[in-house]
């Protein structure tokens, strides 16, 4: 009998086991988030300063996942250029992954998917404020394994509005993934600058 598993219920260990994934902790595996990032304009920085101010105010109260998407993710995607050609945005994308060896089917929904033709550039998994990113990472990795171009890198971003972490996945020849450092709005400096610059870097890479 087919067993249906929800992606949101998987642990990181279970995802690694089911997909034969391993973490690569070498800096050389994920250089795209480090150094020589695109510069932001003064206007973009002002927008991100206001975004930070708005979200920190709202987070004093219960904040839903939809508010995180609206207040934080939307301006980041706009600044990074993902609302313009050649990119397309899809939301709440249903996914099913069949695992024949265990007679399982993993199901879920990708919160935000940035696409260029048949190339998945970015999978964004957002959670409500106060939600641990540790619970979003296995879900994002599961969705990233569905990339239609396994020979090329797929990037992911998990966030609860306050914390941000990027993921890089290479599905072939051996599935492996790596993380960026944790970026957070709890510091004096505005880490949204770095988040936006990394998103711009990904966009530049995929235009080449």
Q: Residue 100 domain-assigned?
A: no
Which residue range forms the structural domain that includes residue 147? 20-94+108-207
Q: Give the pLDDT confidence score for residue 7 in this predicted structure.
A: 86
> What burial class does residue 8 get, using C-beta atoms within 10 Å of its C-beta: 0-12 exposed, 13-18 middle, 19+ buried?
middle
Give me the number of domains the chain comprises: 1
Q: Residue 57 domain-assigned?
A: yes
Each residue's pLDDT, cut to its tens digit, for the chain (208 residues) gives: 778 888 889 999 999 999 999 999 999 999 999 988 999 999 999 999 999 999 999 999 998 999 999 999 999 999 999 999 999 999 999 888 888 777 788 899 999 999 987 678 788 888 877 778 888 999 999 999 989 888 999 999 999 999 999 999 999 889 999 999 999 999 999 999 999 999 999 999 888 7
Q: Residue 11 domain-assigned?
A: no
Q: Residue 15 domain-assigned?
A: no
Dist CA 55 CA 60 (whole Å): 9
- Say what the pTM is: 0.93
Q: Residue 4 domain-assigned?
A: no
Q: Give the pLDDT confidence score for residue 131 in this predicted structure.
A: 78
Tokens representing 114 are 């940035």
Looking at residue 83, which CATH number applies to its domain? 3.90.1570
Q: Give the pLDDT confidence score for residue 198 in this predicted structure.
A: 97
Q: Residue 124 domain-assigned?
A: yes
Q: Residue 180 domain-assigned?
A: yes
């Amino acid at each position: 009998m087919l067993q249906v598993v929800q992606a949101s219920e998987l642990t990181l260990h279970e995802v690694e086991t089911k997909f034969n994934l391993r973490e690569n902790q070498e800096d050389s595996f994920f250089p795209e988030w480090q150094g020589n990032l695109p510069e932001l304009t003064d206007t973009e920085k002002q927008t991100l300063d206001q975004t930070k101010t708005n979200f920190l105010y709202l987070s004093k109260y219960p904040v839903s996942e939809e508010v995180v998407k609206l207040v934080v993710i939307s301006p980041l995607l706009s600044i990074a250029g993902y609302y313009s050609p050649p990119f397309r945005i899809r939301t709440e994308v249903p996914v099913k992954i069949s695992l024949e060896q265990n007679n399982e089917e993993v199901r879920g929904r990708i919160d935000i998917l940035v696409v260029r033709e048949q190339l998945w550039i970015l999978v964004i998994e957002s959670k409500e404020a106060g939600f641990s990113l540790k619970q979003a990472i296995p879900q994002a990795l599961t969705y990233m394994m569905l990339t239609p171009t396994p020979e090329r890198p797929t990037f992911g971003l998990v966030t609860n509005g306050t914390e941000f972490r990027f993921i890089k996945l290479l599905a072939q020849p051996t599935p492996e993934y790596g993380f960026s450092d944790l970026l957070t709005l709890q510091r004096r400096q505005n880490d949204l600058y770095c988040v936006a610059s990394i998103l711009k870097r990904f966009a530049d890479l995929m235009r080449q």
